[in-house]
Homo-oligomer: A and B are copies of this chain.
Amino acid sequence: MTQLMTLEQTRFLRACRRETVDATPIWLMRQAGRYMPEYRALREKYDLLTLIKTPELACEVTLQPIHAFDLDAAIIFADILPPLEGMGLKLEFVKGEGPLIHNPITSLADVERLITPTPEEALSFTLDAIRLTRAQLQIPLIGFSGAPFTLAAYAIEGGGSKNHEKVKAFMYCEPQAWHLLMSKLAEVAGHYLYAQAQAGAQALQLFDSWAGQLAPEDYRRYVAPYSRRALEIAKAAGVPLIHFGTNTGGMLTDLRDAGGDVIGVDWRINLTQAAAMLGDQVAIQGNLDPVVLFAPWDEIALRAKAILDQMRGRSGHIFNLGHGILQHTPVDHVRRLADFVHEYSERNR
């Protein structure tokens, strides 16, 4: 209980609630990953799904960046796709090609066959990893789930996609199947988020990485009701909800209106402009281009400074990248970025 009360007053959770902070909190999407030598060493011994499905290993990976850098939150090491596996899709991570679903959804019958197991039934490995990690961690832990649209995109495209034409065509041509699919995904994602908070996560992020590939009116009509449903289920857990997408410059207010206490913003929009669109009833997370971390340090510092200056005086800014950290990112730049964000923001409240 004492630890939980202390956690509640950390700068990360205070910023989620738009309360004043001593310095701007920072965490980085995919902060545990292949750019770290410790992680690569483990991946030489275990494949990705083994790391995710073995709670002790997932816990170890989750803690790697926390031991290496001065970050303000950990995010449980997992992937957005295992929930689809629990629903009946056959998932594989193919070396060099990314995720592959061997039986993608093509019809209403496929959607009807999808089951909606409880998180304890289908995703106990991640819930166990959260329990293990919580016991070893002094800072807030973030749980997460893919959002219904992003999960639907993988389930229908069968993997990554350039134009997302299969998922959008399904959405336009099969309204009944679409509604059923998105309803099932909203339930699965929402209960999965809720269960992660129950297992010990202090905040939850809904990843809608592909939402920004939609026209805003399609997002509102075909997607937002289901993101809203997932976030409503998660909200009962009583922890801050982060709602993240990329390419959302033309639909930020729609993303906000679907729910979330914190809105994730990518680098494709100026943060001052994004803040003006979002208003002051949500916190903002973002928005450095992950590729900036490949630049010389002086350039990185300049860009981090620009983001902090834009957010100065706003209650509720969490520094992050606009999307996941990239594989060849120099480790030392991550370390210096975390320190710089704290030092600069503390000096320039």
Contact = CB atoms under 8 A, between A and B. Distances in A.
Contacts of A274: 250
Interface in A199-229: 212-218
A290 interface: yes
A251 interface: yes
B169 A294 contact: yes
Contacts of A218: 289
Nearest to A215: B267
Interface residues of A, number: 36
B296 A215 contact: no
A291 B247 contact: no
Nearest to A328: B165
B294 A168 contact: yes
Contacts of A290: 163, 165
Contacts of A289: 168, 214-215, 218
A229 B289 CA distance: 26
A292 interface: yes
A168 B214 contact: no
A328 B292 CA distance: 37
Nearest to A265: B250
A336 to B, nearest CB: 15
B268 A213 contact: yes
Contacts of A299: 172
A241 to B, nearest CB: 24
A288 to B, nearest CB: 8
Nearest to A291: B168
A117 interface: no
Nearest to A288: B215
B173 A291 contact: no
Nearest to A270: B216
B268 A164 contact: no
A164 B296 CA distance: 17
Contacts of A180: none
A216 B270 CA distance: 6
Contact of A294 (B173, B270, B328): B173
B294 A172 contact: yes
A249 interface: yes
Interface in A259-292: 267-270, 273-274, 289-292
Given A163-B290, A172-B295, A247-B268, 4 more contacts: A217-B270, A249-B268, A250-B270, A250-B274
10 contacts: A164-B291, A165-B291, A165-B294, A168-B294, A169-B295, A172-B296, A173-B295, A173-B296, A247-B268, A249-B268
